[in-house]
Structure 1
Amino acid sequence: MSTYPNITDTKELIKQLVSIPSPSGNTMKVIQFVEERLRDLDVETKRNRKGGLIATLPGKNNEAHRMLTAHVDTLGAMVKEVKDNGRLRLDLIGGFKYNAMEGEYCEIETSSGEIFTGTILMRQTSVHVYKDAGEAKRNQENMEVRIDAKVENAADIRALGIEVGDFVSFDPRVQLTANGFIKSRHLDDKASVGILLQLIKRLKQENITLPYTTHFLISNNEEIGYGGNSNISPETVEYLAVDMGAMGDGQSTDEYTVSICVKDSSGPYHYGLRKNLVALAESNQIGYQLDIYPFYGSDASAAIRAGHDIVHGLIGPGIDSSHAYERTHETSLNYTEQLLYHYVLSDMVSI
C-alpha cells in the first residue's frame, strides 16, 4: 500500500490549483478543473446555482450525513474606473488591505475572455518624482494598475476591450522549497481544496465505504461571506469547514501542525465536535494546535447564520501571512490530511 498522505502529490496539486485565477465571482475555470478530477475518480458531483460543486460518497448510514467544505474562490479585484492617465483603479474582492498587493503582477480578464497582464502600483511610486512616495496611503485613490500595453488614456484602454467590472486576479508566485515549504498567494483556501481532493482519491482507490454518507462542498463564494450557507441536506448532522489556520501575535497556530479552531468572530464552534477532533488527533499521533481567530469567519459559520441545524467545526493547515503572500509547510498539510482521513472514517457522534 502506498504511503498516505503522499505529500509530494498534494503539494503539486495545490500548485496547480493556485495557478488557476479564481477571484470570487469568476470561478468557473477552477470549478471545472476540480469537477474533471472528481469525474476521473468516478465520484458523483453536481453544481449548485451559485456555481459551487458538491461531491458525494455514499456511506453505511444514509440517515445521518456529514459535510466537509473548502473554497476555491480567492481574493482579487474588479476594475472600478478606467482612468484618463491610461491606468485602472480597482475595487477589492474580499477582506484584505491594499498594501498586501503593492507591486504584484496581475491579470485583467475582459468580458470577452481576453487576458491582459499588468502590475499593481502606487501612483506615486517613483521616488525621483514623488517626495511622499513612502508616506502616501496605500488605498483605492493612490493605487492603480499599469497595463502591459501601449495605452495613454481611457480611450486607449477601452479600445482593448477593458471596462469597468472586469475581473483582476493576482499572480500567485507559487514556490515549493526543497525543505518542505510552499509559499504562494491563495493558499487560503486552495491548500485545503487540494487536501480534500487527495482524501477523496484515497477513499476511492482503497474502495472504502464511509460510516456516514459524506458530502464535499467545493464552495466559490467564501471570501464574500456566503459560500456555505445553502445546499446542506436535511440529513446533515456534522458540517466541517476546512480552511486556513490564522497565524500571528498571540496565536497558537503554526506552519507545522493542523489548527483546530475553537472560536472565531462568529463565536465558539461546537464543543462536542472539537473534542472528538482532538481525541482523533491524539489517538493517531497527529500534531495539532487549538486556536481562536478573532477576525475570521468560515463557511461553517455562514451555514449556522443561515439557520441550519447542524454541528459545526473548523480545522485547517496553519498559514502564515494570511490574505497576503502566504506560506505553510508540508507537515501542516500532512497532519491536516491525516486528521480528515481519521475523521471521515470515525463513527464518533458529536451530539
Structure 2
Amino acid sequence: MFERYKGYLLEELEKLIAIPSPSGFFKAIEEYLSEEIRAIGYEPGRLRKGGLQYCLGGEGDPIMLMAHADTLGAQVKYIKPNGRMMLVPVGGLNPNNVETENVTVFTRFNETYQGTILLENASTHGNRNYNVVRSFEENLELVLDKLVSSREDVLKLGIRNGDFVALRPRFELSTDGFIKSRFLDDKIGVAILLAFSKYVKEQNVKLSRKVYVSFSVYEEVLHGGGPGIPEDVVEILGVDMGCVGKNLDGSETKVSIVARDNYGPYNYEIITALASLCERHGIDYAIDCYSGYISDVSTALIAGNDVRHGLIGPGVYASHSYERTNIKAAEGSFQLLQAYLTCFEREGGI
C-alpha cells in the first residue's frame, strides 16, 4: 500500500521543505497545510498560538499523532555599522555547520532579501586566523546581496532587529532512495502523516481507535506540544526524526522507536507494542535512547497532560545540519502507523 502513496509523500516533502518556517514564522506553512488537509478531505482547526489539528475518525481510546512543521532558523540580532548583521539562532541552529549557507531575510514590511552567512574576514588568503571556532556572538555574520555599506543603508531596506532569516534547504532526491536536505526534521514527519491521512481517506480505512493529527509550529523552541490537546486524548504518538549516530542502532533505512529522551523513558507498554508489531510484520526498526533530544510528546507531558506517550520516525543522519534519510525509513514509519492504528492488524496483515 505504501507504494501507492510514496510519490505523494515525496512531492509533499519537497513542497513543505521549500516553505520557510523557522519556529515563530509559520503563517505560510500553516496556510499551505490547511489547504492540503482540506484537499485530502478533513477540516483542520487552528490553535491560538499557531498549529493545526484534525481528526481522521475512528472510535474509542483516542490517540493524537504529532509532527512539527517548524524548523531551525535565525533572526537578525543587530545591524552593524558596516551593514553586516549579527544573528541569533532560532532553535538549535549550530554555528559550525551554517557558514557559507545562502539565506533569505524576511522583513516586517513584506520585503525579502538574499544573503549569505559568512565568517568575518572570510577570505582565507587574507586571514591567518581563519580557523577560529565559529560563533554567532563573536564572528559569524550575515552579508546581504545588496549594495550596502552602513547600518543606515540596511535600515532603509526595511530590515530591523528580530526579522526572520531562513536557510536554503538544498533538497535533493538522490540514488538508492536517499533524501538529502536541511529540515527533514521534521517535515518528513509531516509528509508521512499527510500521506497516512490521504491513505485513510481514499481507502476508507477502518481505524482501530479514534485518531487525531496535530502539526505544531514551536517544537524547535520547546513549547510546541503542550497546549490544545483534546480532552478525550489518552495517548500521544510523535512522528519525528529518529537519530542516527555513534552508539545508536538507528539507521537511515530504519524506523526508529524512541525508548527515552532527555526527560526520561517513554511509555513502556507503547514501546513494547510498537516493537512487537515491527517484529510481526517484518518492519526494519531500531529502539534507541537519545541524549540531546526533546520532542513535542515530552513537552505535552511537562505541560501537565495526563496521557501515555511514545515516538517513532525515520532515521535521520546529520541532524540539525544537512540531513539525510532514505525512503525505506519513511516506508517503515508509514507501515508501523498502519499496523498500530488500523484494523488490518487485527485481520492479520498490512
Normalising by structure 2, we get a TM-score of 0.96
Segment of structure 1 superposing worse, 52-61 or 148-157: 52-61
Contact 2:62 2:209 in 1 (8 A): yes
- Out of 171, 183, 191, the residue aligned to residue 168 of structure 2 is 171
Q: Deviations over 1:203-253 (max 9, x none)?
A: 000112322221100000000001111111221111001110112111111
Distance 1:12 1:144, change over 3 A: same
- Counterpart Cα distance in 2 of 1:29 and 1:4: 29
- Counterpart Cα distance in 2 of 1:98 and 1:81: 17
- Counterpart Cα distance in 2 of 1:88 and 1:193: 32
Q: Deviations over 1:16-60 (max 9, x none)?
A: 111100000001101111110110122021000111000112213
Alignment partner, residue 127 of structure 1: 124
The aligned runs of 1:98-177 (5 Å cut-off) are 98-177=95-174
- Counterpart Cα distance in 2 of 1:26 and 1:264: 26
The aligned amino acid for 2:298 is S
Contact 1:124 1:136 in 2 (8 A): no
Alignment partner, residue 76 of structure 1: 73
Superposition deviation, residue 136 in structure 1: 4.6
Alignment partner, residue 254 of structure 1: 251
- Counterpart Cα distance in 1 of 2:183 and 2:59: 36
Alignment partner, residue 10 of structure 2: 11
Alignment partner, residue 58 of structure 2: 59
**Percent identical across equivalent pairs?**
40
- Out of 185, 190, 195, the residue aligned to residue 193 of structure 1 is 190
- Counterpart Cα distance in 2 of 1:132 and 1:3: 52
- Counterpart Cα distance in 1 of 2:302 and 2:74: 26
Superposition deviation, residue 137 in structure 1: 3.5
SS at match of 1:331: helix
Contact 1:22 1:73 in 2 (8 A): yes
Q: Deviations over 1:294-342 (max 9, x none)?
A: 1100001001111111110011100000001100011111111111122
Alignment partner, residue 36 of structure 1: 35
- Counterpart Cα distance in 2 of 1:146 and 1:318: 34
Contact 1:247 1:254 in 2 (8 A): yes
- Counterpart Cα distance in 2 of 1:179 and 1:274: 30
Alignment partner, residue 90 of structure 1: 87
The aligned amino acid for 2:143 is R
Superposition deviation, residue 189 in structure 1: 0.1
| Structure 1 gap ranges (5+) | none
1:329 matched to 2:314: no
Distance 1:136 1:298, change over 3 A: closer
Q: Deviations over 1:51-83 (max 9, x none)?
A: 10001122132xx31100000000000000011
- Counterpart Cα distance in 2 of 1:106 and 1:201: 33
Contact 1:44 1:57 in 2 (8 A): no
Contact 1:5 1:337 in 2 (8 A): no
The aligned amino acid for 2:261 is D
Superposition deviation, residue 135 in structure 1: 2.5
Q: What is the root-mean-square deviation in Å for CA atoms of aligned residues?
A: 1.4
Alignment partner, residue 213 of structure 2: 216
1:238 matched to 2:235: yes
Contact 2:64 2:233 in 1 (8 A): yes
Q: Deviations over 1:175-210 (max 9, x none)?
A: 001321110000000000000000000000011232
Superposition deviation, residue 5 in structure 1: 5.4
- Counterpart Cα distance in 1 of 2:221 and 2:90: 7
SS at match of 2:44: strand
Contact 1:66 1:213 in 2 (8 A): yes
- Counterpart Cα distance in 2 of 1:40 and 1:9: 13
Superposition deviation, residue 3 in structure 1: 5.2
Contact 1:60 1:209 in 2 (8 A): no
- Counterpart Cα distance in 2 of 1:329 and 1:130: 40
| Structure 2 gap ranges (5+) | none
- Counterpart Cα distance in 2 of 1:268 and 1:3: 30
Contact 2:256 2:314 in 1 (8 A): yes
Normalising by structure 1, we get a TM-score of 0.95
Contact 1:253 1:259 in 2 (8 A): yes
The aligned runs of 1:199-348 (5 Å cut-off) are 199-345=196-342
